[in-house]
Chains A and B, each alone.
Chain A
Amino acid sequence: MSLDISFIGILIGSIMASSVPLILAASGELITERSGVLNLGVEGMMIIGAISGFALMVITDNLFIAIVGSMFSGVIISLIFGFLTQSLLTNHVATGLALTIFGIGLSAMLGKNFVGIPGKEFPILFSSLRESIPFFGPILFGHSIVLYFAFALPFLTNYFLKKTKLGLVVRAVGDSPVSASNQGINVTLVRYCCILYGGAMCGLAGAYLSLIYTPQWIENMTAGRGWIALALVVFATWSPIKVLIGALIFGGITILQLHMQAIGFRIPVQFLSALPYLMTIIVLVVISRDSRKIKLNTPTSLGRIFYKEK
């Protein structure tokens, strides 16, 4: 395995591919958290997206329906969370955990008949350019449309939050629901929308795994990526662009770990596999050490229940 320039290009391309589910899920969760809702059900919503995307692909043989369907199923499952936390005012942490446990169980149940079915090849864009340009080819071209969307998403999210009126509303609701409510904003409605949007993005992230990244259905195939996405939001101190950077770092560790295993690095496989999780902890420590920095960016009412007296 030579470390020539084209190999590095391919390596970067594969790092980008492995960071896509993290970017999608974390960007979705970021909007949810910015509106003041802490949804710990990311893992559950992702795995539901993964199975429903794969199942729809097998049943309809149409990848477009599969992708849209996975997002729709993410919305449906996050609606449970939304209804409980927003309408029935339940504790965000407990409800999110229930969502994850429920989602993992339900996905395994629904996916029973889809284990071992081979996936379908997902169309990639600009595949001819990928081969013809030496270094930038594998980086810029030959990816699925979902990857391009994922890499645009943090910038879109940033624009939405900082430059649009609706973005301001979301931030206001997350920072001070009472003032927002007094301004005539329907806090519950805004939060519902943000939760459902987060669900859609998590569903898409799951579908990326089961349709594009490793095109097949494996039980529990998200393997903690949902939780890493949650950690990424903290890592990014709730800023969308930093989500992108963080996701690339984690994607990099995942790919690096695979390559180290492949070239027979003299460290047990399990230690390399533990790297992304250990890295998450280390990053959290580094980021959270400065409590002022965290406080400055954290949505002030994150995870708090808002109830409007009628």
Chain B
Amino acid sequence: MMYQWHYIFFTPFIAIILTILGGGIIFYILGFNPIEALKFYFITPISNLYGLSELLLKATPLCLIAIGLSFCFKSNNWNIGAEGQLTFGAIVGGGVALLFYNQEGFYILPLVILAGAIGGMIFALIPATLKTYFNTNEILVSLMLVYVSKLLLDYLVVGPWSNPEGFNFPETRQFSDSSRMPLLFEGLRIHAGIFLALAAVMLSWFILYKTYLGFQIKVSGLSLKTAKYAGFKGKTMILVVFMISGACAGLAGVGEITGPIGQLHRMISPDYGFTAIIVAFLGRLNPFGIIFASLVVALTYLGAETAQIFLQIPKYTGQVFQGMILFFLLASDYLLFFKVKILNLKKNELRH
């Protein structure tokens, strides 16, 4: 198959345009003026400073998780349980934050963040270990663990960790200010977690393109046989990519609870872990592509909320858009590759 690099970065734009067109058609079927609905969806949410801050706030966890997932997907490991790793990271990080709920100190936030990353890492090691030593399917195991982690969180916030002064609401105490991510601007919710995401982008670019590990990951993704022939340690690599991916998801979870949320409760993530899969693909598993993709997909979250408020369109349209983006992305790949091939053949035929 011919794979010309500039098309790789071209198809996401086609997919986005097709998704917007498809969305317009859906809005029309639902009985809305498509132009107006699309305006509420894609322009209104980011037409002021607050909206832009919300966009970055939502893009931060998506970007972090997708960066982690890109390591897995590049090496043909299908970790689709990032939502679970995010939840477990938030549980561990949140647990540490709750330990210090009545204390202040500069060391608390780094501890909480570290705990979250380790939590996500440990949780991702479960499917990875089972895959390496018992040959189990990582897709199913990582996905089942999502449900397990959500039930665990539910148990904790209802039971042992629930706020003693909280009138039995399913939530923990508020974290102390020292466990909260510093806000970047007065009055906006955007917080320092965005630097974690940017650091992850830089680091992943370095690992993937400048180190031996990154080379191994890419080769294994392209051809497992070649990787084996070259003597790469396949099992260790599976564990490593899952650990990276889990740590990123855990960081995203911790970023949410120490950032905008400030405590643990049932709804710490609107399925960021699943949506990040789409972000990773839309970003072409490329660190800088993922930044762009996370902004686009974050906009579908915001747009869904705005459309719900102004047009009473249910906010699940967000997921419909996200599904469509991935459908169109996968589809437009084909159209480009094969058109190119056919045209080249014809040129050759003409020459002969």
Task: Tell me whether A101 and B135 are in contact (CB under 8 A).
Answer: no
Looking at B130, B281, B317, B330, the one whose CB has the most chain A CB atoms below 10 A away is B330
Shortest beta-carbon distance from B309 to chain A in Å: 15
Please measure, in the bound complex, the distance between the C-alpha atom of A46 and the C-alpha atom of B155, giving whole angstroms.
28
Contacts A271-B151, A288-B134; A94 near B319 (Cβ below 8 A) = no
Selected from B136, B137, B139, B148, the residue in CB contact (under 8 A) with A277 is B148
Task: Tell me whether B330 and A94 are in contact (CB under 8 A).
Answer: yes
Mark interface residues in B268-298 (1 if CB within 8 Å of A CB, else 0): 0000001101100100000000000000000
For B200, the chain A residues whose CB sits under 8 A away are: none
Q: Does B177 reach chain A (CB closer than 8 Å)?
A: no
Q: Does A157 reach chain B (CB closer than 8 Å)?
A: no
Shortest beta-carbon distance from A5 to chain B in Å: 34
Please measure, in the bound complex, the distance between the C-alpha atom of A268 and the C-alpha atom of B327, giving whole angstroms.
40
Please measure, in the bound complex, the distance between the C-alpha atom of A88 and the C-alpha atom of B316, giving whole angstroms.
27
Contacts A270-B152, A274-B151; A105 near B140 (Cβ below 8 A) = no
Mark interface residues in A274-286 (1 if CB within 8 Å of B CB, else 0): 1001101100110
Shortest beta-carbon distance from B241 to chain A in Å: 16
Task: Tell me whether A89 and B334 are in contact (CB under 8 A).
Answer: yes
Contacts A108-B319, A271-B155; A101 near B278 (Cβ below 8 A) = yes
**Chain B interface residue bracket vs A:** 35 or more
Shortest beta-carbon distance from B134 to chain A in Å: 5
Please measure, in the bound complex, the distance between the C-alpha atom of A155 and the C-alpha atom of B80, giving whole angstroms.
33
* B residues 309-352 touching A (CB-CB < 8 Å): 313-314, 316-324, 326-327, 330-331, 333-335
For A106, the chain B residues whose CB sits under 8 A away are: 316, 319-320, 323
Please measure, in the bound complex, the distance between the C-alpha atom of A106 and the C-alpha atom of B327, giving whole angstroms.
14
For A98, the chain B residues whose CB sits under 8 A away are: 278, 323, 326-327, 330
Shortest beta-carbon distance from A105 to chain B in Å: 3
Task: Tell me whether A274 and B152 are in contact (CB under 8 A).
Answer: yes
One of A66-74, A191-199, A224-232 at the interface: A224-232
Q: Does B145 reach chain A (CB closer than 8 Å)?
A: yes
Residue of A nearest to B149 (CB): A274
Contacts A89-B334, A268-B155, A277-B148; A97 near B140 (Cβ below 8 A) = no
Please measure, in the bound complex, the distance between the C-alpha atom of A93 and the C-alpha atom of B138, giving whole angstroms.
12
Contacts A93-B139, A278-B144, A280-B144; A105 near B134 (Cβ below 8 A) = no
For A153, the chain B residues whose CB sits under 8 A away are: none
Residue of A nearest to B142 (CB): A281
For A291, the chain B residues whose CB sits under 8 A away are: 135
Selected from A90, A103, A271, A278, the residue in CB contact (under 8 A) with B334 is A90
Selected from A80, A227, A270, the residue in CB contact (under 8 A) with B151 is A270
Shortest beta-carbon distance from A234 to chain B in Å: 6
Please measure, in the bound complex, the distance between the C-alpha atom of A170 and the C-alpha atom of B23, giving whole angstroms.
37
Please measure, in the bound complex, the distance between the C-alpha atom of A99 and the C-alpha atom of B319, giving whole angstroms.
11
Looking at A40, A230, A234, A288, the one whose CB has the most chain B CB atoms below 10 A away is A288
Number of A-B residue pairs at CB separation under 8 A = 131
For A40, the chain B residues whose CB sits under 8 A away are: 139
Q: Does A273 reach chain B (CB closer than 8 Å)?
A: yes
Q: Does B141 reach chain A (CB closer than 8 Å)?
A: yes
Task: Tell me whether B330 and A285 are in contact (CB under 8 A).
Answer: no
For A285, the chain B residues whose CB sits under 8 A away are: 130, 134, 136
Q: Does A55 reach chain B (CB closer than 8 Å)?
A: no
Please measure, in the bound complex, the distance between the C-alpha atom of A277 and the C-alpha atom of B151, giving whole angstroms.
11
Please measure, in the bound complex, the distance between the C-alpha atom of A90 and the C-alpha atom of B11, giving whole angstroms.
14
Task: Tell me whether A88 and B334 are in contact (CB under 8 A).
Answer: yes
Please measure, in the bound complex, the distance between the C-alpha atom of A246 and the C-alpha atom of B158, giving whole angstroms.
33
Selected from B154, B275, B318, the residue in CB contact (under 8 A) with A270 is B154
For B326, the chain A residues whose CB sits under 8 A away are: 94-95, 97-98, 101-102
Contacts A90-B330, A90-B331, A105-B322; A273 near B139 (Cβ below 8 A) = no
For A94, the chain B residues whose CB sits under 8 A away are: 277, 281, 326, 330
Please measure, in the bound complex, the distance between the C-alpha atom of A95 and the C-alpha atom of B281, giving whole angstroms.
11
Shortest beta-carbon distance from B318 to chain A in Å: 7
For A103, the chain B residues whose CB sits under 8 A away are: 323
* A residues 61-114 touching B (CB-CB < 8 Å): 80, 84, 88-91, 93-95, 97-99, 101-106, 108-109, 112
Residue of B nearest to A80 (CB): B327
Shortest beta-carbon distance from B132 to chain A in Å: 12
Q: A84-B331, A88-B334, A231-B144 provided; 18 other pairs, C-beta below 8 A? A: A90-B334, A95-B327, A95-B330, A101-B319, A102-B326, A103-B323, A105-B318, A108-B319, A109-B313, A112-B314, A227-B140, A231-B137, A270-B154, A277-B144, A281-B144, A284-B137, A285-B136, A291-B135
Pairs A–B under 8 Å by Cβ, sample size 8: A88-B334, A95-B327, A109-B320, A277-B147, A278-B148, A280-B140, A281-B136, A281-B140
Task: List the 3 closest A-B pairs by CB distance, nearest first.
Answer: A102-B323, A105-B319, A108-B316
A residues with a Cβ closer than 8 A to B are 40, 80, 84, 88-91, 93-95, 97-99, 101-106, 108-109, 112, 219, 224, 227, 230-231, 234, 268-271, 273-274, 277-278, 280-281, 284-285, 288-289, 291, 294
